[in-house]
Amino acid sequence: MGIVICRQDTKIELWKKALKAAAPDIEVYSCLEDHPKEKIKMALVWKHSPGSLKAYPNLRCIASSGAGVDFIFSDVEAPVHLPITRVVDPMLASDMSEHVTAVIFAYLKNLNQYKLDQQQQIWNPIGYARIKDFTVGILGLGTLGALLAKNLVHFGFQVQGWSQSRKSLPSVTAYTGETALHAFLSTTNVLVCLLPLTPNTEGILNKELFDQLPKGSFVINVARGGHLVDEALLQALQSDHLSGAALDVFHEEPLAKEHPFWSHPKVHISPHCASVSDASSVAPQIIENYRNLLNRKALQNLVSMDRGY
Ligand code: NDP
């Protein structure tokens, strides 16, 4: 019996080492090596090769090694009738909070503009904003959104969030469901997307949504590229309805060389690095779930099949 690690990047050995360190007694295989497929009970996956999970006749659980699971559902051959788990990790949440906070402060203090000015040796001090001037609105008040909200409140920002079910977080104005979306958007100046990518949220960052934000708002997408309608963002920037955007995730990754985002002065790009699962931090929860699976105990961090996240 054992775990197979299925991913297409160069991190398989790193994850294998972390799992072996957490549980030397458990067999852990790389999908790239010869391994006994019938022995595999759990697949630890991250953007695995589509269709590859069919090879495991006795698979009992698919574990995402990140917070998102959209790539599992988009593999039409994945056995999604099996339990699917995801990562809920304090380090993943604090890394995301630090990234988004850095982006917000860079925006407030015009640091992106000064970087552009520097390239042309332009000395042009411009007025800066203060924390009190902005309301940050977070789409998604789950594990990542809730910690970000808490930390931004600590800095003194006005913070509001939008989620599917009702939330109660200290000093955070909470909006729930479709009917509250307009009220949420119309009072947001910096919009952060931290939603899971599901059929309900795909393309949510579109013209209709941007139109409901106050003029001059700034958009941060750190969730998934599929949330954003690229053309709608470009148009909202072109018309100056939005003042800028910071994007960490894209429809196609790496972002295609010819994509207009690369050279857009109001678009700030990071290469899907806002928050990266740390193998050592995450390995213990994978091992605990693996043992639970074998002992027929309840799994942690189960994805709801109905909600798709
Ligand atoms: P959670 O599942 O904990 O939270 C998701 C939140 O979105 C919940 O508050 C949920 O509402 C809300 N939500 C989902 N669907 C809807 C909807 N249709 N309408 C309103 N609210 C909705 O996820 P995490 O916080 O752990 O992660 C969020 C996403 O961040 C991940 O799915 C992933 O895509 C992205 N991510 C990006 C990373 C990066 O490096 N760029 C790194 C890690 C994650 P409710 O609470 O009511 O269920």
Q: Determine which residue's CA is closest to atom 29 belonging to ligand 1.
A: 196
Residue nearest to atom 12 of ligand 1 (CA): 140
Q: Which residues line ligand 1 (CB under 6 A)?
A: 66-68, 92, 96, 140-145, 162-165, 194-198, 200-201, 222-224, 248-249, 272, 274-275, 309
Residues 174 and 196 in one domain: yes
Can you tell me the distance from the alpha carbon of 14 to that of 137, in angstroms, rounded to the nearest whole number? 36
* 307 inside domain: no
- Examine the domain organization and report whether 31 and 140 are in the same domain: no
Q: What is the DSSP string of 52-63?
A: GGGG-TT--EEE
For the stretch 44-83, pLDDT in tens is 999 999 999 999 999 999 999 999 999 999 999 999 999 9
Is residue 201 located within the same domain as residue 139?
A: yes
Let me know if residue 300 belongs to a domain.
no
Residue 120 lies in a domain: yes
Q: Are residues 208 and 113 in the same domain?
A: yes
Residue 230 inside a domain? The answer is yes
Residue 208 included in any domain: yes
- Of 37, 24, 223, 251, which Cα lies nearest the Cα of 140? 223
CA dist 17 and 130 (Å) reads 45
Quick check: is 54 in a domain?
yes
Across 44-64, b (16+ Cβ under 10 Å) vs e yields bbbbbeeebbeebeebbbbbb
Mutate to test the pocket of ligand 1, among 182, 209, 309 (most ligand atoms within 8 A of CB): 309
Where residue 40 falls among pLDDT bands split at 50, 70, 90?
Answer: very high
pLDDT in tens, 86-144: 999 999 999 999 999 999 999 999 999 999 999 999 999 999 999 999 999 999 999 99
Chain mean pLDDT for the chain: 98
| pLDDT at 182 (0 to 100) | 98
pLDDT of residue 241: 98
The arithmetic mean of pLDDT across residues 26-50, rounded, is 98
Nearest atom (ligand 1) to Cα of 249: 41
Mean pLDDT of 136-156: 98
67 and 184 share one domain:
no
Q: Which residues belong to the active site?
A: 224, 272
Query: Quick one: 191 and 283 in the same domain?
Result: no
In a shared domain, residues 34 and 109: no
Kindly indicate the confidence band of residue 239, based on its pLDDT and cuts at 50, 70 and 90.
very high
> HEC string of 132-164?
HHCEEEEECCCHHHHHHHHHHHHHCCEEEEEEC
Instruction: Report the nearest-CA residue for atom 36 of ligand 1.
Output: 223
What's the domain range around 132? Answer: 90-269
Whose C-alpha lies nearest to ligand 1, atom 23? 142
Task: Confirm whether 309 is domain-assigned.
Answer: no
131 and 42 in a common domain: no
> Are both 119 and 243 inside the same structural domain?
yes
The pLDDT of residue 190 is 98
- 286 with 158, same domain: the answer is no
Selection from 178, 179, 186 nearest residue 204 by Cα: 178
Residue 114 Cα to ligand 1 midpoint, Å, equals: 33
CATH of the domain at 29: 3.40.50.720
Six token digits for residue 308: 């798709």
How many domains does the chain fold into? 2
Tell me how far CA of residue 37 lies from CA of 32, 46, 79, in angstroms.
12, 18, 15
Residues 133 and 178 occupy one common structural domain = yes
List the 27-30 sheet strands across, edge first: 27-30, 2-7, 40-46, 61-64, 84-85
Give percent of the chain above pLDDT 90. 100
Please choose from 73, 148, 195 the residue to mutate so as to test ligand 1's pocket, defined by most ligand atoms within 8 A of CB: 195
In a domain, 112, yes or no: yes
For the CA of 166, the closest atom of ligand 1 is: 47
Segment 10-24 shows an average pLDDT of: 98
Q: 241 and 131, same structural domain?
A: yes
